[in-house]
Structure 1
Amino acid sequence: MPRPHFLFAATVVVATVLSGCDTPGSSTSPEHGGQAHARPLPPSTGDPSGSVRLLLNNPTGRATPVDRCEVELCTSLLALIEGAQTSIDFAVYGMRNQSELLAALKAAKARGVRVRAVVDRDVDGDNYYSSTNTMAATLGQVRDDRKVDQGLERDQKASDRGNKFDAEPTCGRPDGFAGYVQCLAYDLGDRCLLATHASREPFSGSEDDGDTGKVFNKIMHHKFFVVDGRYLWTGSTNVSDSGTGGYNANLIVVLDSPTVSSWYTREFETMWTDGKYHQRKPESGELRTTVGDAEVQVLFSPQDKAISNGVRPLLKRAKRRIDIAVFFLTNKAITKDLLDAHRRGVEVRVILDATAATNGYTKHELLREAGIAVKVDVWGGKMHMKSAAIDDEYVIAGSMNWTSAGEWDNDENTLLIKSPALATQYHEFFDQMWAEIPEQWATRNPDPESRDSGTSCTDGFDNDYDNLVDAEDPGCSANPPPMLELPPHWVVAKDKITCQHPPRG
């Protein structure tokens, strides 16, 4: 989810700003200095008696975010917390309105379980989720990335790095757009697909502006719990009324695996103990093992370059089909891989979030132009997954949006799971979601807060981040305004060996 104080293309504006005070237990570890070294991992031959479960949440029929623990995304986590005997280490973006989970964490601490947490905070100490401060005060052992972000802010100001975005792009800035410009050219075989992408507002550096600036407000975007050094709960689901509350489409992987849990414990300790976040974390090395019948590989962002080293190689090897359910798709390299897969005969389908479809850097219209099937969600909640299944063999899961910031800036985790059983489960779930979205949204984009988008006009939630809720939002009126146009794209005949934008004179 985006930070409330940043602009998101033409639509995302501040939602809620929390108290600027430090949380109890805020990290005092050094945020600068010294070479980052990876913590040693214990030797492992895998976990043949372990297990991997894939939990998928379809939000169809859910009317509003709730402070209840009733969907499996939540009950699976609650069971792990209640069963914890020695330790709970977790890294989450924040917390909002999940009373039962917070009570379970408090009870675990009271019975002697060591409970430690890492959350995101910006340079002012704010967190997007409104219960984060309460959680920190309740548990005490909660640290964050604020000091690192402040150091990045100082570095950015000292180098005046922002000036690199002042020059006009070679392809020309589209009318009505003020943000950083991408000049894009994709090869469709006998034609070239050209596009000029930008945000309507000046670039702000937030994740959801398209992740092109990489300035100082990186985010600690993990969503994982390690319990007793053995059990891992991780995926796309935030600990919130819309996440674990079930209002959004989300995914969770639950592993019984001391090996994989040790990798996440090392990532946790790098942040909690060493105070290293974002680009300051050491490389992980190859993290690959067997858990039960599944092969599992883990990549942490930004140190392991999860898109370049994990997601893209699988997309390039796809032979039959790729099903993608994703919150944001702004990464131009992934876009190329999907276009190439389509050209070689792979069936590619994408389900994208409605708010993300208004982003000035979204690539879904380029996929549509090339003949790839893309549907935009029409729930009140979000398509919040960051996932795919490939060839009935692989599942991609985790916290990382398919954006540049997901790979290069933010603290994220990505799992590549080779398991025909889990891939088949994902494909079947995707088929169900695909069938539930009307065909009109395969060629059009619904207003994320309107009568076109499920219960978005009655859910008490600011679905498009414009500070207007339900009836206050013009999209929910009897005569909603037209959607703002996205940046331009077009197809031209290919008269050279390679495509480029602007075209050769």
Structure 2
Amino acid sequence: MRGAWAGLAAAAALGLALAVLVWRRRPRPVREVLFFPSQPICTEALLAEAAAPGAGSRPRPCPCPLPRGDCALGRLLRRLLSARRSLELCLFAFSSPPLARAVQLLHRRGVRVRLVTDAQSMAMKGSQIGLLRHAGIQVRHDQESGYMHHKFAIVDGRMLLTGSLNWTTQAIQSNRENVLVLEDEEYVKAFLDEFERIWEEFDPRNYSFFSKDSK
């Protein structure tokens, strides 16, 4: 009888040890805050690695004089480039070339990219929206008197990036801004539900256009 109890105790201890080991190996959910302005950096290495992941060779050194190193923009790019299946973007303004290049790279890798933006801001000088649409990325915009003023992204339906930052060079390099990055199922679901609601509301089949002569 003692032998049976000892065997059960040993099995329980082994099971507990394995559970602890698995728990320790499980990656912690992402919790990160990015503060801007971000110093200008060379983003070529990040983008080149994303363009040819696992190529086994280092990208050629970039001749530009910008420094290399860790900064808010680099971290934001890495979070975006981690997407493997989907990327939802809900942005008031988008004129940052490095971020636009990252989104195009994801699209070429087969990531489903959908973008919602503001009709007035997409017409501003330097906007990247036209280039993204030309690349085949799905884009929808509002038709309201108020602004579509959201600023968030959802990576693979699991990671949320949201804050005050417009995706513009001005905001990234000059403004006091913030981006919160987190993996939290409850918050991600709330923002994803909002994105889907707006996506359906801004369906082009619902757009209405009026000529200047209409009264």
Same fold (TM over 0.5): yes
Confirm or deny that 1:344 pairs with 2:109. Answer: yes
Normalising by structure 1, report the TM-score. 0.29
**What are the superposed Cα offsets for residues 3-38 of structure 1, whole Å, 9 maximum, x if unpaired?**
xxxxxxxxxxxxxxxxxxxxxxxxxxxxxxxxxxxx
1:103-502 to structure 2, matched below 5 A, reads: 295-303=30-38, 305-309=71-75, 311-440=76-205, 452=209, 477-479=212-214
**Contact preservation (8 Å) 1:307, 1:402:** no
1:95-137 CA distances to partner (integer Å, 9 max, x unpaired)? Answer: xxxxxxxxxxxxxxxxxxxxxxxxxxxxxxxxxxxxxxxxxxx
User: In percent, how many aligned pairs have the same letter?
Assistant: 28
Contact 1:326 1:401 in 2 (8 A): yes
Q: What TM-score do you get using the length of structure 2 for normalisation? A: 0.66
Counterparts of 1:476 and 1:323, CA distance in 2: 32
Deviation, 1:428, is 2.0
String of CA shifts for 1:372-405, please: whole Å, max 9, x gaps: 1011111221111111111111111111100111
Q: Is the 8 A contact 1:323 1:348 kept in 2?
A: yes
Distance in 2 (alpha carbons) for counterparts of 1:377 and 1:317:
28
How many angstroms does 1:438 deviate by?
A: 2.7
Amino acid at match of 2:35: F
The alpha-carbon deviation at position 476 of structure 1 amounts to 8.5
Alpha-carbon displacement from aligned partner over 1:311-350 (angstroms, at most 9, x marks no partner): 2111111011100000110010111111110111110000
Q: CA deviation at 1:303?
A: 4.7
Q: 1:300 to 1:423 in 2, by over 3 A?
A: same
How big is the shift at 1:369? Answer: 1.1
- Equivalent residues, number: 157
**Whole-angstrom distance in 2 between the partners of 1:412 and 1:349:** 24
Residues 159 and 184, structure 2, Cα contact 8 Å, conserved in 1: yes
CA distance in 1, matches of 2:89, 2:38: 24
- Secondary structure of 1:379's partner? coil
Helix, strand or coil at the partner of 1:375: strand
Richer in helix (by share)? 2
2:54 — aligned with what?
none
Following TM superposition, by how much is the alpha carbon of 1:294 offset from its aligned partner in structure 2, in angstroms? 5.9
1:339/1:370 contact within 8 Å kept:
yes
Taking the TM superposition and a 5 Å limit, the aligned residue runs for 1:46-57 are none
Counterpart in 2 of 1:45?
none
SS of match in other structure, 2:94: coil
Give the distance between the partners of 1:352 and 1:476, measured in 2 at CA. Answer: 23
Unaligned regions of 5+ residues in structure 1, if any? 1-292, 453-474, 481-505
Q: Please give the alpha-carbon distance, in whole angstroms, between the structure 2 residues aligned to 1:344 and 1:391.
A: 14
Per-residue CA distance 1:456-475 (angstroms, 9 max, x = gap): xxxxxxxxxxxxxxxxxxx8
SS in 1 for 2:33: strand
Q: C-alpha distance in 2, partners of 1:394/1:426?
A: 10
- The one-letter code sitting in structure 1 at the alignment partner of 2:74 is S
Tell whether the 8 Å contact from 1:326 to 1:385 is kept in structure 2 after alignment: yes
Contact 1:299 1:414 in 2 (8 A): yes
Indicate the SS of the match to 1:402: coil
1:161-188 CA distances to partner (integer Å, 9 max, x unpaired)? Answer: xxxxxxxxxxxxxxxxxxxxxxxxxxxx
Query: Could you tell me which amino acid in structure 1 is paired with residue 190 of structure 2?
Result: Q
Q: Is the 8 A contact 1:306 1:414 kept in 2?
A: no
